[in-house]
Amino acid sequence: MMKKFFHVEDIGNLNKAIKDAKEVKANRYAYQNLGKNKTLLMIFFNNSLRTRLSTQKAAMNLGMNVIVLDVNAGAWKLETERGVIMDGDKSEHLLEAIPVMSCYCDIIAVRSFAGLENREFDYAETIVNQFVKYSGKPVVAMETATVHPLQAFADLITIEEHKQTARPKVVLTWAPHCRALPQAVPNSFAEWMNAADVDFVITHPEGYELDPRFVGEARVEYDQRKALEGADFVYAKNWSCPGVKNLSDYGRILSKDMSWTIDAEHMSWTNNGRFMHCLPVRRGLIVTDDVIEGERSLVIPEAANREISAQVVLKRVLEALK
Amino acid sequence: MMKKFFHVEDIGNLNKAIKDAKEVKANRYAYQNLGKNKTLLMIFFNNSLRTRLSTQKAAMNLGMNVIVLDVNAGAWKLETERGVIMDGDKSEHLLEAIPVMSCYCDIIAVRSFAGLENREFDYAETIVNQFVKYSGKPVVAMETATVHPLQAFADLITIEEHKQTARPKVVLTWAPHCRALPQAVPNSFAEWMNAADVDFVITHPEGYELDPRFVGEARVEYDQRKALEGADFVYAKNWSCPGVKNLSDYGRILSKDMSWTIDAEHMSWTNNGRFMHCLPVRRGLIVTDDVIEGERSLVIPEAANREISAQVVLKRVLEALK
Amino acid sequence: MMKKFFHVEDIGNLNKAIKDAKEVKANRYAYQNLGKNKTLLMIFFNNSLRTRLSTQKAAMNLGMNVIVLDVNAGAWKLETERGVIMDGDKSEHLLEAIPVMSCYCDIIAVRSFAGLENREFDYAETIVNQFVKYSGKPVVAMETATVHPLQAFADLITIEEHKQTARPKVVLTWAPHCRALPQAVPNSFAEWMNAADVDFVITHPEGYELDPRFVGEARVEYDQRKALEGADFVYAKNWSCPGVKNLSDYGRILSKDMSWTIDAEHMSWTNNGRFMHCLPVRRGLIVTDDVIEGERSLVIPEAANREISAQVVLKRVLEALK
């Protein structure tokens, strides 16, 4: 009974999920009876390209109706407190807004990024948990303050499709960026890799330690070269300081060290490794042109598998609705 | 032959309409042949949450295609006069724009709020009447300058579902608000309650008299407590001055009297009454948290019935197209 | 095998295309098996009313799924160079963005207007050619920097429907406007009329010469009255300087001569001619109220035929996908 999709455990047995992904990919239009007369409401508090297109496509593959709601966070401010006289700029209380939106759909998908100003607020998943609590409908994360499971599942599918050994070495490496980015993608990638049958290593400069609940038993290596040696898959991603060692650094950029940028030399340390990134990517900061354009790059197959991961998840939720 | 939906008489016999609503609610997907290859164009000159989602859902229930057009009133200004050299900021004349939009659909639904600056312009329904006149297609009001019939019909359905007596007492009460709001919701609610089999009372501070064409034979009571005594349903709503007694006050806020806010004491004067509001609602101004969250509150069922009222209306219009 | 739609030659035999248009217009919903489980992605870098509604309607007529993506050119800037460190305002490289978008659809339709600042950039079709090169999917022009073939095809269909002689005289006439407009519409109209069986004349003030690749063998007449004499169809349109005679004038307004505005006197010079314009039109500049509203005006039939031209094109592309 899949009622929400935030963490790897929500999808159940991972081998079964990967098997389902293969089946769905081979027969995308075989399950349209499941989605007939079912409506997916996609709510975006933040912009989206890949997630919007791939999730909408997945729902349509399943025969669902889709309603997209772009919420300009600036224009539609929700009151969250009780006992307040609402005479300011907040025109609706979430205790009405969420049950109302859920009236008109069968499944809710929500995107709401970390604000990166208050770690407690972000890591408590304050926004999306209100949807879980008050909507009465299944809720699917389309990137929240701390997780992006549709991406991590698509990445896992991609690794399964391209691995040459039973238990490949997968390295998540921090890379520099000009803006402060959330930790949702590395958090979920770590969580899913820990659950998968891979040799998983995380590497980043000191201070960028991810939250322990996501790192789990993964090996953390501060020397990027040591981490990359023998890697079958190199998963590059920037993230801002998770505030684990020093709460006051939460959301800050601690390093722009360009020696972490993945170039041909970095890839030469690996076991003829495949390059991965969730996109969008800043070339010259995260990765060089030759590596991302090279034949070992998997960035487009990863993006294509976003349709598949979304379809497996929506299919499971629809099956649970029956 | 239903060619437009603005007023209660457009829906015909009310008992039949309520019976249709029950039938549609029990069998939402039973009429998809009606909507096959029919397109609803939803045009929004103003923002929308409930109306957009519920009307789109209703159309999809009926098997229709839906196209949503968000018109930013600022960016797309239509010329309405003849004999003008259009060298200013108006890039298209409504005499072209409306017939063109109607080319690509079978039914047009329009939202266009009152500007609250010119009573004559607003109460003549200058904008939506041009759609009726020039589109050649059925036009459904998704809240106009003076009416919001999909809301009033949903409210009537909700009252029918929850009434304990054959002829319940229904009270429309003004309540304070921080912004000047249109009169479309109270206008339509009054019109529909006058046509329904209920004991209908309107209460508001002096100066807030609604337009006589909507008030009709309804009892108007300036003492809120007297009005609420024995009420089975309390329908709270703010509206700005309708300009009936004093045209120059049109659209103004004449009172912010917080003694009109519906709280537990107000509800204690009623006959164990149900609380109703069309949403969005400002808590602390219109109603207190305990009343709107209490078990006698009907705000979420009202919102859910918006899908039903829209579906009955669209179904009737589709039947008339045949 | 129709893989792109930019120029008249992409549609193949014009008589066959016109015959297809008649057939589609008589049986819009007869080809829904072609579009089943096929997705059209409509990407708008610029605003759209007619093109958006008519193309979406055409795709739905064919049973397709449609995803609309409004790209605010200001907010989503794509890097086009290699070897750049992307630490500025461009958050994604087109070499990733285009293949990703193409992952989730079967056909891409793109609107991207001329910037009118750099003739070489505009006339090289720099933006849309990248979609052709990197998407791997069929690309349909919904008005590009230099062409608007869906409009020209709809205009041709309209002329065929209303012509009284085997080879009518068709005159494309420049008319004044308050803003600098692209040349896409006159370029495509000229290209299509040159390919059609009509007597085609272009008239405009000196300096407004269209690009020779679109003018072809058409007769150019600088005296508007001489051009209009005996015309069966008058196609009015403003365009800014195409920069053919003087590159530095590219995109400029060279004339606002109101003697070129089409009024009743201008029409009296014709052979009881029909008035045409692609819309939106500025009344009083391009044409007078009486002419555009008169019974000889074809502006609404032209707009209605946009659905037909789009459907013929999408049908051909779908057939080529099989």
- Mean pLDDT, chain A cut into blocks of 10 residues (322 residues total): 93 97 98 97 91 97 94 69 88 92 97 96 94 96 98 98 98 97 98 98 98 98 98 98 97 98 98 97 97 97 98 97 82
Q: List all residues 6 or more positions away from A235 whose beta carbon is below 8 Å from its beta carbon.
A: A155, A170, A171, A172, A173, A189, A276, A277
Give the pLDDT score at C311.
98
CB contact under 8 A, C99 and A300: yes
Q: Does B279 touch chain A (CB under 8 A)?
A: yes
A162 is known to lie in a ligand binding site? no
Structure-derived torsion over alpha carbons of residues A97, A100, A106, A107, reported in degrees to the nearest 10: 0
Contacts of C84 in chain A (CB under 8 A): 283-284
Contacts of A82 in chain B (CB under 8 A): 283, 289
Q: Does C280 touch chain B (CB under 8 A)?
A: yes
Q: Across the strands, what pairs with B229? A: none
- Cα–Cα distance between C95 and C106 in angstroms, integer? 19
Give the pLDDT score at B191.
98
Q: Does B39 touch chain C (CB under 8 A)?
A: yes
Helices and strands: H and E segment counts in chain A: 13, 12
CB contact under 8 A, B97 and C280: yes
B143 is known to lie in a ligand binding site? yes
Mutual angle of helices A94-103 and B50-61, in 10-degree steps: 10
Contacts of C253 in chain B (CB under 8 A): none
CB contact under 8 A, C92 and A279: yes
Give the pLDDT score at C76.
65
pLDDT in tens, B138-165: 999 999 999 999 999 999 999 999 999 9
Give the pLDDT score at C279.
96
Give the pLDDT score at C233.
98
Q: Kindly state the DSSP code that residue C88 receives in the 8-state scheme.
A: S
What tokens were used for A185?
């993608």
C 15-34 near B (Cβ less than 8 A) = 28-29
> pLDDT-based confidence at C73, cuts 50/70/90?
low
- Cα–Cα distance between C25 and A116 in angstroms, integer? 55
Lowest mean pLDDT among A213-227, C64-78, C213-227: C64-78
What tokens were used for B143?
């809240």
CB contact under 8 A, A96 and B285: no
Q: List all residues 6 or more positions away from C133 whose beta carbon is below 8 Å from its beta carbon.
A: none
- The complex's ipTM works out to 0.94
CB contact under 8 A, A293 and C41: no
Segments in chain B below pLDDT 50: none
Q: Does B53 touch chain A (CB under 8 A)?
A: yes
A48 is known to lie in a ligand binding site? yes
Q: Across the strands, what pairs with C21? A: none
Task: Give the distance, in angstroms, between the CA of residue C268 and the centroid of all CA atoms in the same chain.
Answer: 28
CB contact under 8 A, C97 and A50: no
Read out DSSP for B219-263? EEES-HHHHHTT-SEEEEE------SS-GGGTT------GGGSB-
CB contact under 8 A, C103 and A54: yes
- Nearest C-alpha in B relative to A84: B284
Q: Does B81 touch chain C (CB under 8 A)?
A: no
- Pick the residue of A37, A65, A103 with the most B CBs within 10 A to test the interface with B by mutation: A103
Contacts of A100 in chain B (CB under 8 A): 49-50, 279, 300, 303
Q: Does B84 touch chain C (CB under 8 A)?
A: yes
Q: How far is B268 from chain C (nearest CA, A)?
A: 51
- Domains of chain A by start residue, with CATH: 4-148+306-321 (3.40.50.1370), 151-302 (3.40.50.1370)
Give the pLDDT score at B47.
85
Residue C139: phi, psi to the nearest 5? -120, 125
CB contact under 8 A, B91 and C282: yes
**This model's pTM is above 0.90:** yes
Q: How far is A283 from chain C (nearest CA, A)?
A: 6
Q: Across the strands, what pairs with C236? A: C173
Q: Output the CA angle A77-A80-A85, nearest 5 degrees.
A: 85
Q: Does B158 touch chain A (CB under 8 A)?
A: no
Contacts of A51 in chain C (CB under 8 A): none
CB contact under 8 A, C104 and A307: yes
Nearest to B251 by CA among B146, B167, B103, B171: B146
Nearest to C262 by CA among C230, C297, C303: C297
- Nearest C-alpha in C relative to B98: C300
- Cα–Cα distance between A219 and A52 in angstroms, integer? 33
Single-letter residue type at A199: D
Closest CB to A307 among C37, C97, C103: C103
Closest CB to A283 among C37, C41, C84: C84
Q: List all residues 6 or more positions away from A26 whose beta carbon is below 8 Å from its beta carbon.
A: none
Q: Does A56 touch chain C (CB under 8 A)?
A: yes
Q: Does B85 touch chain C (CB under 8 A)?
A: yes
Closest CB to B54 among A69, A76, A104: A104
Closest CB to B307 among A79, A87, A103: A103
